[in-house]
Amino acid sequence: MQERGGRNSSVLAFGALMLLCLVYAYLEMRAFGHDVPIPMYGYFLAALLAFANLLLSWFSSQLHYLGMRLVGNGLLAMGTVVGAVFLQKYSAYHAIEFVLLAIWFGSLVQVRLLITFAINAVLAIAFIGAMYAKDVSDFWIPLVTILLASAVLLGTYIAYLTERGRRRLFLQTEINRSMTNRQELWAFTLIDLDMALSGILNFKELIGLLKKHLEPVIEFDSYVLTSLEGQGPKPVADKVEGALFENDDKTIWSEELLGKLTQTRQATVSAEHETVRGFLGMKKQRFISYRLDVPIFNDARLMGIISLRRESQPFDDLDMIASVSIAAQAMLIFKRSTRSSAKAVERTIPEPVIRPKKAEDSTTTTISSSESRDMEVTDHGFTQSDQTLVPKDVITKFKKEEETVKKTITLMSRENADKIAVDRYRTAAVEGEPLSILIIEVDGLSKLREQDGDQVAYKVFAAIVKYIFSKVDKDKDILGRYGQNGLSVLMPKVDMNAAERFAEMIRQFVANARYKTAYGEKSATLSIGVAAITDDTGDYGSMVKRADMALFVAKKNGRNCVKVRL
What is the tens place of the pLDDT at every residue in 351-409?
Answer: 444 344 343 333 333 333 344 555 555 443 333 333 334 455 555 554 554 454 444 56
More confident residue, 211 or 282: 211
> Which pLDDT value is given to residue 536?
63
Class of 203-345 per CATH?
A: alpha beta
> Which pLDDT value is given to residue 444?
84
* Encoded amino acid at 376, one letter: E
Cβ 47 vs Cβ 21: under 8 Å: yes
What is the tens place of the pLDDT at every residue in 440-476?
Answer: 999 988 888 888 877 888 888 888 988 898 899 888 8
Residues forming a β-bridge with 276: 284
Coil vs helix vs strand at 538: coil
* Encoded amino acid at 389, one letter: L
pLDDT-derived band at 226 (thresholds 50, 70, 90) equals: confident
> Which pLDDT value is given to residue 132?
84
Average pLDDT over residues 210-223: 84
Cβ 331 vs Cβ 298: under 8 Å: yes
Mode of pairing for the β-strands spanning 562-564 and 525-532: parallel
For the chain, what is the mean pLDDT?
A: 79
DSSP 531: E
Cβ contacts of 452 within 8 Å, gap of 6 or more: 517, 519, 522
Backbone angles phi, psi at 308, to 5 degrees: -120, 150
Q: What is the CATH number of domain 359-564?
A: 3.30.70.270
Backbone angles phi, psi at 537, to 5 degrees: -65, -40
pLDDT-derived band at 2 (thresholds 50, 70, 90) equals: very low
DSSP-based helix, strand, coil % in the chain, nearest 5: 55, 15, 30
Backbone angles phi, psi at 109, to 5 degrees: -75, -30
Q: In this model, does residue 285 exceed pLDDT 60?
A: yes
Q: For residue 515, is it left (φ>0), alpha (ψ between -120 and 50) or beta?
A: beta
> Which pLDDT value is given to residue 244?
67
Cβ 333 vs Cβ 193: under 8 Å: yes
Cβ 127 vs Cβ 82: under 8 Å: yes
Average pLDDT over residues 322-347: 76
Query: Sheet harboring 486-492: ordered strands across?
Result: 478-481, 486-492, 435-443, 525-532, 562-564
Does an H or E element contain 291, and which?
strand 283-298
Reported as half-sphere exposure (CB side, CA atoms, 13 A), residue 94 has a value of 29
Helix axes 92-106, 2-31, angle to 10 degrees: 170
pLDDT-derived band at 516 (thresholds 50, 70, 90) equals: confident
> Which pLDDT value is given to residue 406?
41
* Encoded amino acid at 205, one letter: E
Query: Structural domain boundaries of the chain?
Result: 2-171, 203-345, 359-564
> Which pLDDT value is given to residue 386?
38
